[in-house]
Chain A
Amino acid sequence: MPEHSPEHPGNQAPGSNYFPSGDFLESPNLATELTQIADVDAYNLEALHNLDPDQVPEDAVKKRLGWTFWIAAAWIFLIVALALLAPLLEKLGMPDPTQPVCTSRDCSLQPPLSGYGLMGTDKLRRDIFARVIWGARVSILVGVAAVIFGIFFGSIIGIIAGFFKGKVQTVLMGAMDVLLAFPALLLAMSIVTFLDDKSVKTIVLAIGIVAIPPVARLVRASTLVFAEREFVLAARTLGASNGRVITKEILPNAVLPIVSFGIIGVAVAIVAEGALAFLGLSIPPPDPTWGSMINEGRATLETAPWVTLMPCLVLFLTVLSLNLAGDRLREYFDIREGAL
């Protein structure tokens, strides 16, 4: 196989061997390979590609997560903690996110740190900090739940397709191709619209469904590789059933790489929820979500930019931290090494 092998990433003929099997994990172009899968999909997994050969020296003495990882982890921890503790914070004096902080007109659109809370107030005199914290609950809940949903069903489909191959694979991966034939945001929007329900459950379902195909593709690819490995053959020789080979031998190996993608997946899901909320297709007002806060603030962008910029900043830092942490973790648990 030539070193630079631009295997084709588009809508593959179902059943065609998308990955140069066997060479997949050893391929020096793993980064490119993964980018291609990612880009076909809703996931912005390109964010992962620090796997350039020149950046991951073969003789790396000691891998370190680095200080950027710890800063990112600290931010994620802070946001998650604040989100979890929101009801407690409210008892300790944080204003209600849906109620005005005062009755007079003067406290509408106050800038940050002006005596009206850490992040100021919005047009309806509500405390922006409190809204951002309560919004974090929605974002994180939807992000994590949608990714778990996607990984769960995607892994099942991917493993079955990769293990049984043949017609099963053609049908399953064909179905994935059809799902991928819709732009991700459009598909999520359509699901929310046509189920005509804006509860957390529906949003998770909408984003989770969009997350299935990329996971299925990735798991199928690594299943194809692992199914031919000697330990699978050994298990078979010992008389293991298909079910046992799948659950005990292949599953732990094939799904592991997915877990580090999960963190970045959460970032993508948070962005997706933000976009839906921005378009008015997530949890309805007055309950705050980051996307709807950014949207509401646009009306006063000129006079009170902080109303929009505060949730923008928090969303940006959270997504950046998740990308960074996922990226570092992936490098740390280099899947190429794990495979050998």
Chain B
Amino acid sequence: MAFIWRKLLQLVIVLLCVTFFSFFMLTLLPGNLADTLCGIGCTQEQRDQKVEELRLNDPVYIRYADWLGNVARGDFGRSGRTQQDISEALTERIPVTAELVIYSQLLALGIAIPIAVVAARRAGGVFDRVSTTTAFGFLAAPPFVVAPVLVLIFAVNLKWFPATGYTPFLENPLDNLRTFFLPALTLALAEMAVYMRLLRTDLISTLQEDYITMAKAKGIPPKRILWKHAFRPSTFSLVTVAGLNMGRLIGGAFVVEVIFSLNGLGKYIVDGILGRDYLAVQAGVVVVAFAYVLINFGVDLLYAVLDPRIRHARALA
């Protein structure tokens, strides 16, 4: 329990810092904030109204507390560019990014796990070397390099998958998975390489443990040893890294959403940046950072559940 309380306290502190950073970023903008937010061709009246609305005459900490209260109620204000309610826009876009991240994560794990297991079974063999080398190649290919190549192959030449477009999952699940395939694959390739290498390394080291030798001596078939005895204890790092990557993928999703014109959080933030819609950008940053921290926290707890040694080590400390 002490472990969970300490983690919770840490979570609260990090969240406060993260929100403060996101809030404070606006004040980094060069020039007068009211002028910047009001835009070009802004009258004195509109400007005064903006100052009043954002309470720019108050000190930073009061504004922060105030803003935090609004955010907690889900009020991010209105977009300077489209006049749309920002939280409304965000709720529309979160599912798109979430699906993209989960889909690519499943693809990556689905490809990586079998390959890693087969590779680890005969470490140093032909399959192992080919797959490790290929993975190394994928690690050097960021999404913005992979995406044009995939589009060229699968959308332009083979015409198997569309390059753009989005169908909501509830409307037509199959179409949805098809339109999401290329974006998800783009994100998945590099992740896949990471997972494959990680699981392979851990499996190889687990396979050298005494209890595996014991299992072999008892005559248990290799396949069973691999999947039933060695697999689970080798997945701790994989689970953690996969969890933490969910957050990183939200960042990576920015580029992919822009390339495939998916209206997700990333595209919202990028559009906001290009349109100088700073309040929208700020809201997007807060939501993404918040999600990232919460996911990391969840992974922490999950990890303790998976591996009793962590729980007990912490409890004793």
Residues of A within 8 A of B (CB): 2-4, 6, 8-11, 13-14, 16, 28-29, 31-32, 35-36, 39-40, 44, 46-47, 49, 52-55, 174, 177-178, 181-186, 189-190, 193-197, 267, 271, 274-275, 278-281, 291, 294-295, 297-298, 301-302, 305, 308-309, 312, 315-316, 319-320, 323-324, 327
Given A6-B237, A323-B136; A13-B7 close (CB under 8 Å): yes
Q: Which residue of B lies closest to A182 (CB)?
A: B289
Residues of chain A with a CB closer than 8 A to B259's CB: 298
Q: Are B140 and A267 in contact (CB under 8 A)?
A: yes
A267 to B139, CA, bound (A): 11
Q: Within the complex, what minimum Cβ distance (angstroms) separates A187 from chain B? A: 9
Inter-chain contact A40/B244, CB cutoff 8 Å: yes
For the complex, what is the distance from the CA of A216 to the CA of B169, rounded to whole Å? 43
Q: Is B250 in the interface zone, CB < 8 Å from A? A: yes
Cβ–Cβ contact A11 & B14, under 8 A: yes
Cα A281 to Cα B276 in complex, Å, equals 12
**Minimum CB–CB distance for B99 against chain A, Å:** 18
Classify chain B: how many residues form its interface, as a range. Answer: 35 or more
> Interface 1/0s, chain B 12-38, versus A by CB < 8 A?
011001100110011011100000000
Rounded to whole angstroms, the CA-CA distance of A315 and B300 in the bound complex is 36
Report how far A47 CA is from B135 CA in the complex, Å.
Answer: 9
B68 part of interface (Cβ distance < 8 Å): no
In the bound complex, residues from chain A placing their C-beta under 8 Å from that of B296 are 10-11, 181
- Asked if A8 contacts B208 (CB within 8 A), the reply is no
Kindly report which residue of chain A lies nearest to residue B235, judged by CB atoms: A6
Residues of chain A within 8 A (CB-CB) of B165 are none
- Distance, CA A184 to CA B307, complexed state (A): 28
| CB < 8 Å neighbour of B25 from A29, A190, A294, A309 | A190
Tell which of B28, B145, B247 touches A194, judged by Cβ atoms closer than 8 Å. Answer: B28
A301's contact among B7, B28, B152, B206, by CB below 8 Å, is which?
B152
- Asked if B28 and A178 sit within 8 Å, CB to CB, the answer is no
A–B Cβ pairs within 8 angstroms, 27 of them = A4-B202, A4-B233, A8-B240, A9-B237, A9-B240, A9-B244, A13-B7, A36-B240, A39-B245, A44-B190, A53-B204, A53-B205, A54-B124, A178-B14, A182-B289, A183-B248, A186-B289, A189-B270, A189-B273, A196-B29, A274-B142, A275-B142, A275-B255, A294-B145, A298-B259, A309-B149, A319-B140
Residues in chain B near residue A309, CB distance under 8 A? 148-149, 152
CA distance A281 to B126 in the complex (A): 43
For residue B209, which residues in chain A have a CB less than 8 angstroms away from its CB? Answer: 3-4
B293 at the interface (CB under 8 A from A): yes
Give the chain B neighbours of A185 by CB distance below 8 A.
251-252, 254-255
Known A-B contacts: A195-B30, A320-B140. Give 5 more (CB < 8 A).
A53-B205, A182-B21, A183-B248, A308-B148, A319-B142
CA distance A318 to B300 in the complex (A): 36
Q: Which residue of A lies closest to B310 (CB)?
A: A8
* Complex Cα gap A182–B206 (Å): 33
B162-209 at interface with A (beta carbon < 8 Å): 190, 194, 197-198, 201-202, 204-206, 208-209
Q: Chain B residue with minimal CB distance to A183?
A: B251
A14–B10 CA distance with the chains assembled, in angstroms: 9
Q: Looking across the interface, which residue of chain B has its beta carbon closest to that of A10?
A: B300
- Other-chain residue from B17, B143, B148, B250 in contact with A181 (beta carbon distance below 8 A): B17
**Which A residues are CB-close (under 8 A) to B201?**
31-32, 35, 49, 52
Q: Shortest beta-carbon distance, A28 to chain B, in Å?
A: 7
**A174 CB contacts on chain B under 8 angstroms:** 13
Contact status of A6 and B307, CB under 8 A, knowing A178-B14, A184-B251: yes
Instruction: Give chain B residues whose Cβ lies under 8 Å from the Cβ of A302.
Output: 156
- Measured between beta carbons, the chain A residues less than 8 angstroms from B154 are none
Which residues B292-315 have CB closer than 8 A to chain A?
292-293, 296-297, 299-300, 303-304, 307, 309-310
Q: Which residues of chain B are within 8 angstroms of A32 by Cβ–Cβ distance?
A: 198, 201-202, 205, 237
Q: Which residues of A contact B241 (CB under 8 A)?
A: 9, 35-36, 39
In chain B, what residue has the closest Cβ to A327? B136
Judging by beta carbons under 8 Å apart, are B252 and A316 in contact? no
A193's nearest neighbour on chain B, judged by CB, is B273
B270→A279 contact, CB < 8 A: yes
* Contacting pair A39 B244 (CB below 8 A): yes
* Interface contact A39-B194, CB-CB below 8 Å: yes
Report the bound CA distance from A28 to B202 in whole Å: 11
Complex A-B, nearest 9 residue pairs according to Cβ-Cβ distance, in ascending order: A183-B251, A320-B140, A6-B236, A185-B251, A319-B140, A178-B17, A194-B28, A278-B144, A194-B25
Rounded to whole angstroms, the CA-CA distance of A336 and B229 in the bound complex is: 30
